[in-house]
Structures are given as structure tokens and as C-alpha cells.
Amino acid sequence: PMRVLTLTQETTQAMSIELARIDRQAIDLQAGMFLTLVVSIEGQEHRRAYSISSACQQQQTVTVTIKRVKDGKVSNYLLDHIKVGDTLPVLGPSGAFVLDQTARQASSLLLVGGGSGITPLMSMIRSLLAEAQSPQITLLYANRCFAEVIFAQDLIAFANQHPQRLRIAHVLEQVDNNIDAAQGLLDKTMFSQQLTRLFGEQLPKDLQIFICGPSPMMLGIQDELAQRAWPK
């Protein structure tokens, strides 16, 4: 059982929920893992996995970030009804989409996110920047418009605080005049263009790439990397 400590409205459609164990024990996790929340709706139990967005070093509390999904029974219920002080049964942390030693020791990381796929990547960013040294991190983040960029202000702050360690590139379907972003969908062609813009013609040999987002985006990126004979 975990208690809701704080609720943070990230966008009009996404909220971060900070949780702590009722027994106040530490929460052992790796950046990129998820929690499974057990939610009762009209007497029926539902289980849904939500990625952790907080740093792995922050062991007394853990934060998941949830985006409203059309017809999403659990996500919409949580966003509409959860309150500070509520308790929830929680399973985990779980998951293999994590920063391993190979990634931590690489010179460069490329994190590619689409929409709410930023959530586990944000845990990785926060965890790495909390350490004295880390690979150079490049975040390529796709959304419909800047108003839907989850963690927008946190990302701006991190990039300003760590200009040598973190750079951020946005891809937006709708671009405002004052936003520096590529316009379009993050498909195979756009990803290829962004790779060249960010890294030049030659990718770093030990570059580690993490991808999280909608299936069409991920398939396009994987296709481009396969065409470049990038190791799976």
C-alpha cells in the first residue's frame, strides 16, 4: 500500500502522482522502471502499469506520471478522482527498460520520446543529472504541440543548469513562432534528419539509444536504425 503525497498537473492532460510506502520503507528502483497501480472502479479491480518519472536516488518517494487516454478507464478515473491522502495497492517497481552499466559508461545517450513516452526517459535524465558524471544526454522529444510537452519547464531548467550534459530537440506537429522545433511527425525520415543534425554524418560508436513512444514512431525509428546496421 502507498499513500498519495502530492499531485502535479504537468499539462491539461497529464498529471504526476507522488507516492510513498505506508510503512515508510525505502523504494528500490532503477531509472526506467514502472509501477503497477491497483485501482477499484465500481467494485471491479483494475491493474495498470505507469512508468516512474522520478530519480532512482529518491528512495523515500516515487512519482508516476499519467496521461489521459481516450476511453482509458483507469487513467481517466485516476486523473478525475485521485486525491492527496488516498491510498493505493501498488506492485513493483518492475521492468527491464533501464539504464544498465553499458549505458552509464557510454560517452553519449540518445533518448527518443513521443508523448507520454517521456516518462521513463525523464527518470533516466533526473537520475543521471543527480550523479557527478554522466554520458552526454540528447533528448529528442515529439509531441503534437508545445502545450502538450510533459515536463516542459523542468526540461528547460535542466538544459539551462547542465548545458554540457543535456541538450533537447523538439519535434512538433504544430510549431509556435517562439518555439525552436522541427515541424512534422517523428517518423523514419524525420528521425534520420534529426540524427544528422544532432550528431553529424557519423554517430558516436558507443552511443546508446532508448526509445519510448507510440508504436508507429518506434517502428519508424527502428527501421532507420536497422537500415544503418545499428546493433539491436
What are 148-188's pLDDT values in tens digits? 999 999 999 999 999 999 999 999 999 987 889 999 999 99
| CA gap 139, 181 in Å, rounded | 13
* Banded pLDDT at 5 (limits 50, 70, 90): very high
Q: What is the pLDDT of residue 177?
A: 73
CA angle, 149 as apex, 143 and 152 as ends, to 5°?
145
Sign of CA dihedral 158, 163, 164, 169: positive
What is the mean pLDDT of the segment spanning 73-92?
Answer: 96
Q: What are phi and psi of 147, to 5 degrees?
A: -65, -20
What is the mean pLDDT of the segment spanning 97-124?
Answer: 95
Q: What is the pLDDT of residue 147?
A: 94
What is the mean pLDDT of the segment spanning 97-101?
Answer: 93
* Banded pLDDT at 206 (limits 50, 70, 90): very high
* Banded pLDDT at 145 (limits 50, 70, 90): very high
Query: What is the enclosing helix (H) or strand (E) of 81?
Result: helix 73-81
Which of 46, 117, 32 has the alpha carbon at shortest distance from 78? 46
Phi-psi region of 212 (alpha: psi -120 to 50; beta: other; left: phi over 0): beta
| CA gap 222, 38 in Å, rounded | 33
Q: What is the pLDDT of residue 8?
A: 98
What are 16-75's pLDDT values in tens digits? 999 999 999 999 999 999 999 999 999 999 999 999 999 999 999 999 999 999 889 999
pTM: 0.96
b/e string for 40-63 if b means 16 or more Cβ within 10 A? eeeeeeeebebbbbbbbebeeebb
Q: Is the pLDDT of residue 232 over 90?
A: no
Mean pLDDT across the chain, nearest whole number?
96
What is the mean pLDDT of the segment spanning 206-220?
Answer: 96
